[in-house]
A and B are shown apart, each in its own frame.
Chain A
Amino acid sequence: MLTHLQFIVIGALLADEQSGKDVRRELKRHGVRRTAPAFYQMMSRLEDAGWIDGFYTQEVVDAQIIKERRYRVNPAGVRAWNSTRDFYAAVAARFDRVAHV
């Protein structure tokens, strides 16, 4: 079962791999602000949990090498995300019914 932050992060990675910066931006859109170390610490834990894979790429910008940490979701992460989505959907459906009574 994923937490809501993990749910957002893995959700952002479902379509394609992304850089850490882009994932942070996505979180910001959901109103979640994290310092870079706190964010990367969270990503590190998702890696430890075996849900995402992190790796470095590098590119040369203005004669300077810029390294970038990128992430992609792996099958275990997809399964965890689907399971969480189903759980939230079921709970939402139940409370929807109650709300409409």
Chain B
Amino acid sequence: MSDRVPRLLTRLARALPDAGFARVWEPSLEDLRAERRSRAEFLWRAVVMLAECYRVALSAALIGPRRRRQMEPQAEAIGMMDTLTQDARYAGRMLLKNPGFTSVAVLALALSIGANAVIFSLIDNLFVRPLPYAHADSLIRLWGHSTDGRQQRLPASVPKFEYLRRSQESSVALAADSGLLVAMTRLGDQPQRVSASIVTDNYFDVLGVPPIAGRTFLQGEEDRAPVVVITRQFWVKRLLSDPNAVGRTLTLDSRPYTVVGIVDNLPASDVGPVEAFLPMPVSLSGLTPELRQRGIGYLRITGRLNPAVTIEQARAEAAILAERYRDENREKADSSLREIAIRIREDLTGNVRPAILMLLAAVALVLLIACSNVANLLTARFAGRRREIALRAALGAKRARIVRLFLFESLLLSALGAIAGLGVARLCLDILPALGATNLPLDGNVTITPAVLWATASVALATGVLMGIYPALQAARPSASDALKDGGRGVSGARTPRRVRSVLVACQVSLSLMLLVGAALLIASFANLRRQEPGFDPTRVLTADVSLPASRYPDASAQQQFRQRLLDALRVSPGIESAALGAGVALTGIDWNAPFARGDGRVPPLHERLLGLTRSVSPGYFATMSIPVVGGRDFSEHDAADSPRVIVISQSTARKLFPTPTRSARPSSPARSAAARAARS
């Protein structure tokens, strides 16, 4: 047993060039085996031996075959490798001699290479790292876009999803999901909020996510079957890795659900913090069957393309189906929307791609500035060593050797900069999730992966060559007599390449200026954004989410009674000036869209109406949010379900609908929109 070599070592040895495996590795290994050492010592020596095999292979590769035959191994070892080692040591000593210069150069490079490594890590996390779905390249998303293009990525309604699912042919199947919060009781002392998703029964099949225990949903379980699939995180954190989790009953929103399976955590960039999946997307709590059929959209559609179908074909089909849906369902609220198919990766990262590319360009510019800065320093530094160069040349050193010597210094600087830069990047990546988690679709921690390391190493190598090659070539040029003549006058008197240094400085200044202008514009935009009036006053306003389980509050009447009780209790609480209810909070992205038009004259059909954001609110909402009612009146307690439907519109909507100067709230016809319903209630 002691002579077994791990497969990895053998694989690495097989990669030795020429006949290195059969002629060098194998006989060496057999000699080692014959020494009969302990297992641990054998393995350790095998690893060292493999490294040695690569060393001798490298040294053989660096020496030409003709010369190699003529040389003895001792001389060979002193060949190229030793010269390189000598040069590297000399470069190291020269840098150590000038700690001031070295630290300034390394600091400049560390900051710029570190910035690049951070962006590489982001690119790796966002665009390169594979999604945990089988063949994720063939997954697409279908989103609705308003005809004027102002509203994009709108979810689909149940009728539209069912129409698309029935009619489409470009995908193997379409699945849909929608997020919601559920209350879990009877597990622990306190009720727990669980982020869940209601999905179609084929959801996991379309995504290509197999269960790690139990099963996923079966065909036919889509219609409110009392089953739930949980994620690994839910299983570990909430069920404490219970080995009998599958089959357990969970009480979600006061209804019992049986855990039928556990799946691996899905990427947060795609599903958010979802921990449980319920199979009932066609019956969202709080929406009556009538409203669902009216075309209220809340479903996100995912499809898996057939093998022979391209994304362009899927897009064309989606456009045709959207038109047919509009023709056949003119009474639906979402009939006017165009359907756009995009790949899932683009769906997750499309918004941030331009920003990341811009950041990449910015850090590349910063790196260029650092390069020109250090190149300038190197030019001056090498110019000050012209006597040394002249002496070397006089002693027989070729120009190539001198250039190599200086290039080593530059490469060593960039290598030190890269190492320090990776440290800088590590620090930045630690704080990045806290800064950008809400704006970037990041999956887990952003780490420095081997791909990022390679990219950073390549950048460091390119940086080293870029900033060192010209100073090195320039320094190796002068003749001995020139150098000795100039030497007495010092650096300033030497015929240094002033023009090039001027160009470098000019580049540095212009690039810095460009970046500074960009940064100033960005800061100005940010300041403008902060000064922007949101239309309400968030000072002293607190918000809280409330979700009502459908089992306890099955109809609108029960829900309304709860809301009224809640409002009454809040309004008499000490410290609360006013309280109101609203479906979502402004600027959080939780909005409903509804088609609207003037109710007088010819009322256009639904698919010809404009689409606008609506929010159902209770009386007192405008006062609570300090939104001034500039015309007409606020909602009151008299605007109940059985009273005439009323709506409050924004000034911009008023200008669109009523070009005359009037600003009063006049009846329009989103008669059955969510806003109108809320206003009534």
Q: Which A residues have a C-beta under 8 Å from some C-beta of B?
A: 1, 3-6, 20-21, 24, 34-38, 40-45, 47-49, 54, 56, 64, 66-69
Contacts and interface: CB of A to CB of B under 8 A. Distances in A.
5 contacts: A5-B73, A36-B52, A44-B24, A49-B69, A67-B27
A11 to B, nearest CB: 14
Interface string B14-50: 0000111001111110111110000000000000010
Most interface-central of A4, A35, A37, A66 (chain B CB within 10 A): A37
B19 A45 contact: no
A4 B32 CA distance: 27
B107 interface: no
A1 B74 CA distance: 16
A38 B74 CA distance: 10
A37 B69 contact: no
A20 B57 contact: no
A47 B70 CA distance: 14
Given A5-B72, A36-B31, 7 more contacts: A37-B28, A37-B52, A37-B53, A37-B56, A40-B23, A41-B56, A47-B23
A38 B77 CA distance: 10
B68 interface: yes
A66 B31 CA distance: 9
A38 B52 contact: yes
Nearest to A64: B3
Contacts of A6: 72
B60 interface: yes
A73 B543 CA distance: 91
Nearest to B53: A37
B73 A34 contact: yes
Nearest to B72: A3
A68 B27 CA distance: 6
A24 to B, nearest CB: 8
B72 A41 contact: no
B71 interface: yes
Contacts of A47: 23
Nearest to A68: B30
A20 to B, nearest CB: 5
Contacts of A20: 27, 31
B460 to A, nearest CB: 30
Most interface-central of B23, B27, B53, B74 (chain A CB within 10 A): B27
Nearest to A36: B28
Interface in B184-225: none
A1 B19 CA distance: 24
Contacts of B30: 66-69
A35 B69 contact: no
Contacts of B57: 41
Contact of B23 (A5, A44, A64, A68): A44
Contacts of B3: 64
Given A4-B72, A5-B74, A21-B31, A67 B26 contact: yes
A23 to B, nearest CB: 11
A35 B31 contact: no
Contacts of A1: 70
Contacts of B52: 35-38
A67 to B, nearest CB: 5
B26 A69 contact: yes
Contact of B34 (A21, A34, A49): A21
A4 B34 CA distance: 29
A41 B27 contact: no
B18 to A, nearest CB: 8
B140 to A, nearest CB: 54
B23 A36 contact: no
B26 A43 contact: no
A67 B25 CA distance: 12
A24 B32 CA distance: 13
Given A3-B72, A4-B72, A37 B24 contact: yes
A40 B72 contact: no
A40 B27 contact: yes
Q: Which 7 A-B pairs have the closest CB atoms?
A: A3-B72, A69-B27, A36-B28, A44-B23, A41-B56, A37-B52, A37-B53
Interface in B54-94: 55-57, 60, 68-75, 77
Contact of B24 (A5, A41, A49): A41
A66 B33 contact: yes
Contacts of B72: 3-6
A21 B35 CA distance: 11
A56 B27 CA distance: 9
A21 B27 CA distance: 9
A49 B67 CA distance: 12
Given A3-B72, A45-B68, A64-B3, A36 B27 contact: yes
Nearest to B54: A37
A42 B31 contact: no
Nearest to B16: A37
A36 B60 contact: no
Most interface-central of A6, A36, A45, A49 (chain B CB within 10 A): A36
A51 to B, nearest CB: 10
Given A5-B74, A66-B33, A43 B28 contact: no
A54 B26 CA distance: 13
A69 B72 CA distance: 21
A64 B3 CA distance: 9
Given A20-B31, A21-B34, A41 B60 contact: yes
Nearest to B71: A3
Contact of B19 (A34, A44, A56): A44
Given A20-B31, A66-B30, A38 B73 contact: yes
A92 B486 CA distance: 52
B413 to A, nearest CB: 33
A69 B49 CA distance: 17
